[in-house]
Amino acid sequence: MSRFAGRDKSLHDKKPRTGVLLVNLGTPEAPTAGALRKYLREFLSDPRVVEIPRLIWMIILHGIILRVRPAKSAKLYESIWTEQGSPLMVISQQQKDKVAQKLAQDCDQPIDVALAMRYGQPSISNALNEFQQQGIDNIVVMPLYPQYAGPTTGSVFDAVVDTIKPWRWIPSLHFVGSYHQNEKYIKALAASVKEHISAHGKPEKLVLSYHGMPKLFHTQGDPYYCFCALTTRALAKELGLAEDDFVMTFQSRFGKAEWLKPYTDVTLEELAQSGVKHVAIMSPAFSADCLETLEELVEENKEVFIDAGGETYHYIPCLNDRDDHIEAIVDMIKPYTIRP
């Protein structure tokens, strides 16, 4: 029997169809130790995420981490969980619905839009296989990570290829690898900062906190750090900020290895100790609010700043389903949806 998968029906009389797949990182199905264990097992088993030799890492993962960390992480997730469920999932669904509506308005041909998570559900494989059964022959994959990184965007690409590799008919495939300097994305970030300043006043320091990464990944060629710096520079220029008005930092480090610096928590402590009383913090690396923003930035890092002598600490939300953010996403997708 052939290892190549076909479609259920002949498509010789079908009209060309385009499918858009929006992808984010993922979330546990519930704020419980069991759900976290399942989610973390998939996430931390990805060789893009942890580059330790497999045998050694599997012993550590299953022998130590998955026995200890799920319960701790469940408590953190419980603190941000809503009646609708995981904030990341709720916001991602809102983004997907708005992108679909906007594409329907702007495009002459129907566009199918689906949402997937790299880890957990809905899965990339299920979404793509459904596209295949629907006869979609032009696929646009949009990872919602503004700055390319191997553990995020690169891992999405791996999952996409693993899914379509067995297909007998490979569709046209367009992959948005990074949008760290996209003009509309930068303007949307700037607009969110301006709105915040209008409501709360200008902070002494704007902290741009990006998700961290082991320094080793950077030294081995991952462009993530450079892309974060380019986003920071573009945003500062759009806002007309001076060098002393802002700082770029990295959060969410894990383990004992050195990660990209400066660290967000250490920087906030140092700012407060140096006499800075008012900061605003945002994370341009996240397209939707999630545990790393709603718990780590809103709660943990505020406590660090206040305890060190700071007085006013504000979090500027992710772009989420803002109209200007949706417009930026659709603007990047549309060129790949044009069919003859």
Q: What is the mean pLDDT of residues 83-111?
A: 96
Give CA–CA dist 111/207, Å, rounded.
Answer: 38
**Residue 277 and residue 310: Cα distance in Å, rounded?**
4
> pLDDT tens digits, residue range 48-72?
999 999 999 999 999 999 999 999 9
Q: Looking at residue 317, what is its pLDDT?
A: 98
* Residue 8 in this model has a pLDDT that exceeds 60: no
Q: Do 18-179+324-336 and 183-315 agree at the fold level? A: yes
- Helix (H, G, I), strand (E, B), or coil: what is residue 217? helix
Integer Cα distance of 72 and 183 in angstroms: 39
Burial (CB count within 10 angstroms: exposed 0-12, middle 13-18, buried 19+), residue 213:
buried
Mean pLDDT along residues 8-31? 84
The tokens for 97 are 């619905």
Query: What single-letter amino acid sits at 156?
Result: V
Supply the pLDDT for residue 124: 98
pLDDT digit string, tens, across residues 212-234: 999 999 999 999 999 999 999 99
Domain map of the chain by residue range?
18-179+324-336, 183-315
- Count CB-CB contacts under 10 A for residue 322: 18
160 membership: H or E segment, kind and range: helix 155-164
Q: Between β-strands 246-251 and 111-119, what pairing exists: parallel, antiparallel or unpaired?
A: unpaired
The pLDDT score that the predictor gives to residue 189 is: 98
Residues in the chain: 340
Q: What is the pLDDT of residue 11?
A: 53
What confidence score (pLDDT) does residue 255 get?
A: 83
Whole-angstrom Cα distance, residue 181 to residue 139?
Answer: 23
Strand order in the sheet with 111-119: 111-119, 18-26, 138-143, 172-175
pTM for this one? Answer: 0.94
Nearest Cα to Cα of residue 24 among 111, 127, 110, 112 = 127
Look at residue 5 and tell me whether its pLDDT is greater than 70: no
**What confidence tens digit (pLDDT) does each residue in 147-170 have?**
999 999 999 999 999 999 999 999
Asked if residues 118 and 155 have their Cβ atoms less than 8 Å apart, the reply is yes
pLDDT score of 108: 85
pLDDT at residue number 91: 98
- Mean pLDDT of all residues in the chain? 95
The pLDDT score that the predictor gives to residue 16 is 82
183-315 belongs to CATH 2.60.40.420: no
Of 147, 106, 246, 250, nearest to 190 by C-alpha is 246
The answer, yes or no, to whether residue 9 has pLDDT greater than 60, is no
Nearest to 46 by CA among 202, 152, 199: 152
DSSP letter, residue 334: G
Interval 271-285: pLDDT, tens? 999 999 999 999 999
The reported pLDDT for the residue numbered 13 is 58
Q: Which two tokens stand for residue 219?
A: 């030294």
pLDDT over 80 at 340, yes or no: no
d(CA 273, CA 305): 9
Choose which CATH entry (3.40.50.1400, 1.10.3720.10, 3.20.20.70, 3.40.50.720) describes domain 18-179+324-336. 3.40.50.1400
